Amino acid sequence: MRETPGRGAICWVVTGAGHFLRESVKLMASFKNVDVFLTRAAAEVAPRYGVIEAIEKSSRTVAGEEGYSSAPIIRFSGGAYSALVIAPATANTVAKCVLGIADSLASNFFAQAEKSGVPIFVLPTDVERHVESVTPSGRVIRISPRPVDLRNTDALSGFPGVAVARSAKELGALMHQFSG
Ligand SMILES: Cc1cc2nc3c(=O)[nH]c(=O)nc-3n(C[C@H](O)[C@H](O)[C@H](O)COP(=O)(O)O)c2cc1C
């Protein structure tokens, strides 16, 4: 059965990451009333992983990154969303969020959700010293996230109102727990 955390809809940002992408999209399908936003990088990466159709099936709307001010952020203060999910979240987006930079779709949504008291769930790609990832062509590759990226993931975990998951399974558990 599909559910919604809290009473409103979910705003789900997909960033330009291949790692955890298929798992995130699979999880998305277990929730209803999901509005998906793709960062510019995600609009390039997600089609290469063949997940656009699944994203469209799992969501009520899909939008891309347009303009400089991320106009849809006003929906957070307007109470349109009961949760913001950023999954998968690139090292780039996590770094911006940790530093308080708000100059891209994902970092702007993060800042505005936080300012509006909307709970945030993040699944960073860089969670362990060594990760195995899958390329768009299906090849398994070994990646060693940089210390700065791991530090940023840890720092984000300390933000009030932000739940940081280290796997798609954990993200699902945190979100279902929140749904009550
Ligand atoms: C095929 C492909 C896969 C990628 N996967 C990742 C990833 O898993 N994690 C990551 O941090 N960056 C990844 N990147 C790099 C990001 O797309 C890039 O840093 C981009 O600027 C992130 O922008 P965004 O955070 O606004 O989405 C990938 C790039 C490509 C082309």
Cα separation, 84 vs 69, in Å, equals: 18
In this predicted structure, what is the pLDDT of residue 178?
Answer: 87
Side chain identity at residue 109, one-letter code: F
Average pLDDT of span 104-130: 97
Given a contact cutoff of 8 angstroms between Cβ atoms, the answer to whether 17 and 90 are in contact is: yes
Reply yes or no on whether the pLDDT at 177 is more than 80: yes
Edge-first strand listing for the sheet containing 81-89: 61-63, 34-38, 9-14, 81-89, 120-124, 162-164
> Which of 90, 135, 146, 148 most suits a substitution to test ligand 1, by most atoms within 8 Å of the C-beta?
90
Helices (H) and strands (E) in the chain, counts: 8, 8
**Minimum CA distance residue for ligand 1 atom 13:** 17
Cα separation, 165 vs 69, in Å, equals: 28
The confidence band for 12, taking pLDDT boundaries of 50, 70 and 90, is very high
Q: What structural domains and CATH numbers belong to the chain?
A: 9-179 (3.40.50.1950)
Span from the CA of 16 to the centroid of ligand 1 (angstroms): 4
Span from the CA of 18 to the centroid of ligand 1 (angstroms): 7
Reply yes or no on whether the pLDDT at 1 is more than 80: no
In this predicted structure, what is the pLDDT of residue 8?
Answer: 76
**Minimum CA distance residue for ligand 1 atom 1:** 45
| Ligand 1 nearest-atom number relative to CA 106 | 26
Span from the CA of 131 to the centroid of ligand 1 (angstroms): 15
Listed range (22-26, 33-37, 67-71) with the worst mean pLDDT = 67-71
Listed range (1-15, 50-64, 95-109, 154-168) with the worst mean pLDDT = 1-15
pTM summary value: 0.96
Given a contact cutoff of 8 angstroms between Cβ atoms, the answer to whether 56 and 90 are in contact is: no
Q: Which residues contact 139 (CB under 8 A, 6 or more apart)?
A: none
